[in-house]
């Protein structure tokens, strides 16, 4: 994995550029993952890689080139390649400038114990789960991964940023002989704080239910979503609406609605890279400092997240949410938090006369992006709630629901939040009790 010395290599390489502005970005990762299924490790791997991007600009012509060869000669070739692309490009009239150098807040998301967690340590952890699973005649599948990541950004305007962090992620599906399954996952920066036993036990307990699942009729139900399911929705909401590019193109469900209520009063969503449980890298892929952004405040649309390009178009400041230079999606939030409520999960279940407890969703996809209507399935831990108690498992059902409507019908939020990984993002979200949630036959 790269260290801060790469900024020296960048500085030298930038001097060779003939472009008006030049940017070099390097993301470096040492990644390990142990994958198991049927109570056996079937895939166990490590990877060391560094991706480097150059963005060269002549006037308003932009060229981007990428490689994973970080030798000094390669840096020079990368710059030349980006220059050639830029020279052949047409003007992008909306481009203003790369970001100037700005002060970056220091964060400390690098934990040596996480980085050094060994293959034998991961195998021991899996062996412990398998032992507990076998004692209950369950079969386990899952992953345990640990990684370290460094990001370095330098540009010809003086930006020089470097930071590193670590991350662990854990997922587990336990399955009983009758097909009943339970799911749990966790993520964080410091593996020493990870309560491996407690998290894995959640999945084992769900799969250990002795009653066969019941089939329910399609309809509108009161549901209690575990944080995993909430995060599944939040990922899609962010994808459909929180980024500056979508807002600029009038394609976001928040376009033209800032100041208007679009969700329930009890919903506040912030992008908070500095939250102590998230500890995201303090700057983005163009070296701009990350800022906390209140996206939804008490149900009212407040703001999106921006990189320098779309901030310029929107007449605002970058919030530090640029993705790598060759992405075409635009800025995106990767550290979202939904404010908690005041209820315990037991109170939420106890207040439900007839409802469904949903662990997570599967294969959500848009049916009508304008309505934020998604389709998908419940999976790995769906239970019936009767008279304030979880009584029996339910055969999984198809979800067909507008996410904005769901977030407008939230009756209760838990005080407890969980940190849920969703692709490259970490989300800190509570349980939600939602009324009138549409479920159909699978």
Q: Which of residues 209-238 bind another protein (CB under 8 A)?
A: none
Q: Please, are residues 4 and 110 in contact by the beta-carbon 8 Å criterion?
A: no
Count CB atoms within 10 A of the CB of residue 60: 16
Count CB atoms within 10 A of the CB of residue 130: 18
Site for another protein in 334-393 (CB under 8 A): 362-368, 370, 375-377, 379
Exposure string of 331-350, with b = 16+ CB inside 10 Å and e = fewer, is bbbbbbbbbbbebebebbbe
Residue closer to another protein by CB (options 181, 349) is 181
Residue 277 structure tokens: 């449980």
Site for another protein in 306-335 (CB under 8 A): 326, 328
130 binds another protein (CB under 8 A): yes
Exposure string of 216-250, with b = 16+ CB inside 10 Å and e = fewer, is eeeeebbbbbbbbbbbbbbbbbbbbbbbbbbbbee
Considering only 16, 96, 101, 118, the residue that binds another protein (CB under 8 A) is 118
Query: How big is the chain by its Cα radius of gyration, in Å?
Result: 23
Residue closer to another protein by CB (options 416, 440) is 440
The least CB distance from residue 361 to another protein, in Å, is 10
The least CB distance from residue 280 to another protein, in Å, is 20
Q: Interacting stretch for another protein, rule CB under 8 A, among 13-21, 253-261, 315-323, 351-359?
A: 253-261
The least CB distance from residue 138 to another protein, in Å, is 12
The least CB distance from residue 266 to another protein, in Å, is 25
Residue closer to another protein by CB (options 133, 278) is 133
The least CB distance from residue 351 to another protein, in Å, is 31
Considering only 22, 114, 143, 201, the residue that binds another protein (CB under 8 A) is 143
Residue closer to another protein by CB (options 173, 409) is 173
Site for another protein in 27-86 (CB under 8 A): 31-51, 63-69, 81, 84-85
Q: Kindly give, in sequence order, each residue whose CB lies less than 8 Å from that of residue 358, ignoring residues fewer than 6 positions away.
A: 223, 224, 225, 226, 229, 378, 381, 382
The least CB distance from residue 236 to another protein, in Å, is 12
Residue closer to another protein by CB (options 138, 432) is 138
Burial-class residue 313 by CB neighbours within 10 Å (0-12, 13-18, 19+): middle
Residue 292 structure tokens: 């906390």
Q: Kindly give, in sequence order, each residue whose CB lies less than 8 Å from that of residue 376, ignoring residues fewer than 6 positions away.
A: 232, 361, 362, 363, 364, 365, 398, 399
Residue closer to another protein by CB (options 295, 348) is 295
Considering only 251, 261, 292, 302, the residue that binds another protein (CB under 8 A) is 251
Strand-pairing partners, residue 400, are: 375
Residue closer to another protein by CB (options 85, 345) is 85
Q: Annotate each residue in 85-114 with x if it binds another protein (CB under 8 A) or - if it does not, as one string.
A: x--xxx-xx---------------------
Residue 157 structure tokens: 């305007």
The least CB distance from residue 172 to another protein, in Å, is 7
Q: Please, are residues 260 and 241 in contact by the beta-carbon 8 Å criterion?
A: no
Q: Interacting stretch for another protein, rule CB under 8 A, among 168-176, 192-200, 212-220, 331-339?
A: 168-176
- Residues in binding contact with another protein, number by CB under 8 A: 79
The least CB distance from residue 333 to another protein, in Å, is 20
Q: Please, are residues 244 and 310 in contact by the beta-carbon 8 Å criterion?
A: yes
Q: Interacting stretch for another protein, rule CB under 8 A, among 139-147, 225-233, 332-340, 385-393?
A: 139-147
Q: Kindly give, in sequence order, each residue whose CB lies less than 8 Å from that of residue 330, ignoring residues fewer than 6 positions away.
A: 243, 244, 245, 246, 307, 309, 310, 323
Residue closer to another protein by CB (options 63, 341) is 63
In eight-state DSSP terms, residue 90 is P
Site for another protein in 267-306 (CB under 8 A): none
């Amino acid at each position: 994995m790269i260290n801060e010395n790469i900024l020296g290599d960048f500085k030298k390489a930038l001097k060779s550029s003939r472009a008006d502005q030049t940017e070099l970005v390097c993301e470096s990762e040492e990644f390990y993952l142990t994958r198991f299924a049927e109570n056996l490790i079937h895939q166990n791997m490590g990877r060391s890689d560094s991706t480097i991007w150059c963005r060269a600009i002549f006037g308003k012509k932009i060229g981007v080139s990428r490689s994973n060869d970080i030798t000094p000669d390669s840096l020079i070739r990368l710059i030349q390649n980006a220059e050639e692309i830029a020279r052949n490009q047409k003007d992008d009239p909306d481009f203003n400038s790369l970001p100037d150098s700005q002060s970056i807040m220091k964060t400390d998301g690098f934990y040596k114990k996480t980085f050094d967690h060994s293959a034998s340590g991961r195998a021991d952890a899996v062996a412990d789960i398998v032992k507990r699973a076998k004692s209950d005649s369950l079969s386990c599948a899952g992953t345990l991964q640990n990684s370290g990541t460094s990001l370095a950004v330098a540009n010809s305007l003086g930006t020089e940023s470097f930071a590193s962090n670590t991350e662990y992620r854990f997922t587990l599906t336990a399955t009983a002989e009758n097909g009943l399954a339970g799911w749990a996952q966790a993520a964080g920066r410091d593996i020493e704080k990870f309560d491996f036993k407690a998290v894995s036990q959640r999945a084992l307990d769900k799969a250990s239910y002795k009653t066969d699942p019941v089939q329910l009729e399609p309809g509108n139900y009161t549901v209690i979503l575990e944080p995993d399911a909430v995060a599944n929705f939040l990922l899609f909401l962010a994808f459909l609406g929180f980024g500056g590019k979508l807002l600029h193109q009038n394609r976001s469900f928040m376009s033209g609605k800032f100041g208007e209520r679009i969700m329930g009063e009890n919903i506040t969503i912030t992008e908070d890279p500095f939250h102590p449980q998230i500890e995201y890298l303090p700057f983005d892929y163009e070296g701009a400092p990350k800022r906390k952004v209140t996206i939804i405040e008490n149900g009212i649309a407040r703001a999106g997240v921006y990189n320098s390009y779309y901030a310029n178009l929107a007449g605002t400041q970058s919030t530090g949410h640029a993705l790598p230079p060759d992405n075409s999606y635009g800025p995106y939030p990767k550290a979202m938090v939904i404010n908690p409520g005041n209820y315990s999960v037991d109170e939420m279940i106890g207040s439900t006369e007839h409802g469904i407890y949903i662990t997570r969703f599967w294969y959500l996809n848009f049916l009508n992006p304008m309505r934020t209507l998604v389709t998908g399935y419940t999976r790995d831990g769906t239970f019936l709630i009767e008279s304030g108690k979880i009584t029996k498992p339910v055969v999984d059902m198809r979800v067909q629901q507008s996410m904005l409507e769901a977030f407008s019908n939230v009756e209760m939020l838990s005080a407890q939040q969980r940190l849920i990984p969703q692709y490259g993002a970490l989300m800190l979200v509570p349980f939600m009790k939602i009324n009138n949630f549409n479920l159909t036959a699978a």
